[in-house]
Amino acid sequence: MRVMLRVAYDGTAYSGWQLQPNAVTIEQRLNEALEDLFGMPMAVIGASRTDAGVHALGNAAVFDVDTRMPASKIAYALNTRLPEDIRVVNSSEVSPDFHPRHTESVKTYEYKIWNDTFPNPTVRLYSHFEYGEIDVGRMAEAAEYLVGEHDFTSFCSAGTQVENKVRTVFSVDIKRDGAMITIRVTGNGFLYNMVRIIAGTLLKVGQGAMEPADVQKALDGRDRQLAGPTAPARGLTLVKISYGENG
Amino acid sequence: MRVMLRVAYDGTAYSGWQLQPNAVTIEQRLNEALEDLFGMPMAVIGASRTDAGVHALGNAAVFDVDTRMPASKIAYALNTRLPEDIRVVNSSEVSPDFHPRHTESVKTYEYKIWNDTFPNPTVRLYSHFEYGEIDVGRMAEAAEYLVGEHDFTSFCSAGTQVENKVRTVFSVDIKRDGAMITIRVTGNGFLYNMVRIIAGTLLKVGQGAMEPADVQKALDGRDRQLAGPTAPARGLTLVKISYGENG
């Protein structure tokens, strides 16, 4: 059967999701736990290959296995074999041809900014620190330009090898809770570094270094130079991936 | 002059506040940073000697120094000399006889419990994980018995060497935000492990293993055995210490 895992992790200690030589990754730790559980080499297919330092509450991965263990119990069996900073929060059977990257999905990311006089050590690994005034009203105004179907060429890393850079962003919500500013972005697909560049751009707008309307100019110009910087990885969390009827 | 520091830290990597041989502590890191800044051996006096793994947003410490540097700038100078998991969030001059443990104060602690089917890796170091149902209404009912002036013998570690175990708790507030339950305790002084034993006891009440009225019985009985277990250190954060006119 094909089993889908929902995976949460603290990305701090990892060189991202994807297998690499000479570096520890989330994918590697999952493969090792599966191998230990089922006694044979195993390989997951991940939904989102998050970068080093990026976190997840609900990344997804599938693998195939011939076992009498109920799919729903696999999460528990894997967690006893995984380090504390990786948890499988759900396991379920999916159809044998389900592919987590080739199936339409809605992804939700959060980018967190700790905006205070000093960094807070207890949130430092899960947010980006910025002192000085940030106007979240301006950020929300700028965010509206991003909603909808657009060519996001200006909002992905310059070297990105994908031909079609049109994506649909369903919502970009900004909220402030004390010193913590959260940018929540939902869409049907994201280019490389897209959420971090959106966050870096909205931050520049909030700080007054860019105008809200500059976001429209950046979209129109299709040039990475027109958007703001790529915000640091630690502020980013992949919150969830929804696959319609597949959950 | 005597300078008071307000100190925030992630206690995960430290053997608590207090200096010890063969272990790294918050106090040691502060003394080293001060020594590096002022070029001579320095020693802080801390307000609360938090245990290994306990966090702080506003612990306090004082030290004496003869310098032309304005007291308010010392925080910045120390932060460039401290690791990322310790931040001095304020520095100010206080009167030369101010002692952070012998001055009346109001302390606020938070104990966090992540109550979900699975642990969340991104909050694991700052909360205690419990699955299964927890009734926060019962916890709040039990908490009311703790408010006021009481002999807290049952709510401190059995070996505690303090004669007078009467303390005043001003408030114990319980709130749930999604999977995160926060117990916020304010009082004029706390015995060793008192907040962690309060948290462990309220948790047992929330889980149905103790009755709210058992808290009154525990207070009356003055016997550590009558209260619940000591909840794990990682869930505890010293939020702030207020010294009246000294801030």
Q: What is the mean pLDDT of chain A?
A: 96
- CA dihedral for A116, B237, B76, B65, sign (positive or negative): positive
Q: Of B142, B68, B28, B58, whose CA–CA distance to A121 is shortest?
A: B58
Predicted local distance difference test score (pLDDT) of residue B246: 55
For A2, the token pair is: 């094909």
Q: What are the counts of helices (DSSP H) followed by strands (DSSP E) for chain B?
A: 5, 10
Low-confidence ranges of chain B (pLDDT < 70): 245-247
Predicted local distance difference test score (pLDDT) of residue A162: 83
Predicted local distance difference test score (pLDDT) of residue B163: 85
Predicted local distance difference test score (pLDDT) of residue A110: 98
Mean pLDDT of A155-162: 85
Predicted local distance difference test score (pLDDT) of residue B245: 64
In the block, tokens 């114990």 appear at B172
Predicted local distance difference test score (pLDDT) of residue B156: 94
- Alpha-carbon distance A187 to B214, whole Å? 51
Mean pLDDT of A138-149: 98
- Alpha-carbon distance B172 to B186, whole Å? 7
Q: Please check the confidence at residue A155 and state whether its pLDDT lies above 80.
A: yes
CB contacts, 8 Å: A122 with chain B: 8, 10, 55, 57, 126, 237
CA angle A240, A241, A243 (to 5 degrees): 145
DSSP string, A202-238: HHHHHTTSS-THHHHHHHHHT-GGGS-PPPPGGGEEE
Active site residue A51: yes
Q: Report the relative pairing of strands B106-114 and B128-129 from DSSP bridges.
A: parallel
Q: Residues near B159 by Cβ (< 8 Å), separated by ≥ 6?
A: none
Q: Is A126 on the interface with B (CB under 8 A)?
A: yes
- Alpha-carbon distance B194 to B171, whole Å? 14
Predicted local distance difference test score (pLDDT) of residue A70: 97
- Alpha-carbon distance B103 to A120, whole Å? 26
- Alpha-carbon distance B221 to B232, whole Å? 24
- Alpha-carbon distance A89 to B119, whole Å? 8
CB contacts, 8 Å: A237 with chain B: 122
CB contacts, 8 Å: A86 with chain B: 121
pLDDT tens per residue, range A12-71: 999 999 999 999 999 999 999 999 999 999 999 999 999 999 999 999 999 999 999 999
Q: Do A85 and B119 touch (CB under 8 A)?
A: no
Predicted local distance difference test score (pLDDT) of residue B15: 97
Are A218 and A142 in contact by the 8 Å Cβ rule? The answer is: no
Q: Per-residue confidence at A227, pLDDT binned at 50, 70, 90?
A: very high
Predicted local distance difference test score (pLDDT) of residue B161: 80
With a pLDDT cut of 70, the percent of chain A lying above it is 99
- Alpha-carbon distance A224 to A239, whole Å? 26
Q: Is B147 on the interface with A (CB under 8 A)?
A: no
Are A138 and A170 in contact by the 8 Å Cβ rule? The answer is: no
Nearest chain B CA: its distance from A13 CA (Å): 12
- Alpha-carbon distance B201 to B184, whole Å? 14
A-B interface: how many C-beta pairs under 8 angstroms?
58
Are A226 and A153 in contact by the 8 Å Cβ rule? The answer is: no
Q: Please check the confidence at residue A246 and state whether its pLDDT lies above 80.
A: no
Residue type, A167: R
CA angle B79, B82, B88 (to 5 degrees): 45
Strand partners of residue A46: A61
Best residue of A5, A91, A114, A122 to probe chain B, by most B CBs closer than 10 Å:
A122
pLDDT tens per residue, range A76-102: 999 999 999 999 999 999 999 999 999
Q: What's the ipTM?
A: 0.89
Predicted local distance difference test score (pLDDT) of residue B85: 98
Q: Per-residue confidence at A173, pLDDT binned at 50, 70, 90?
A: very high
Q: Is B83 on the interface with A (CB under 8 A)?
A: no
- Alpha-carbon distance A134 to A200, whole Å? 12
Predicted local distance difference test score (pLDDT) of residue A163: 85
Q: Please check the confidence at residue A160 and state whether its pLDDT lies above 80.
A: no
CB contacts, 8 Å: A72 with chain B: none
pLDDT tens per residue, range B40-72: 999 999 999 999 999 999 999 999 999 999 999
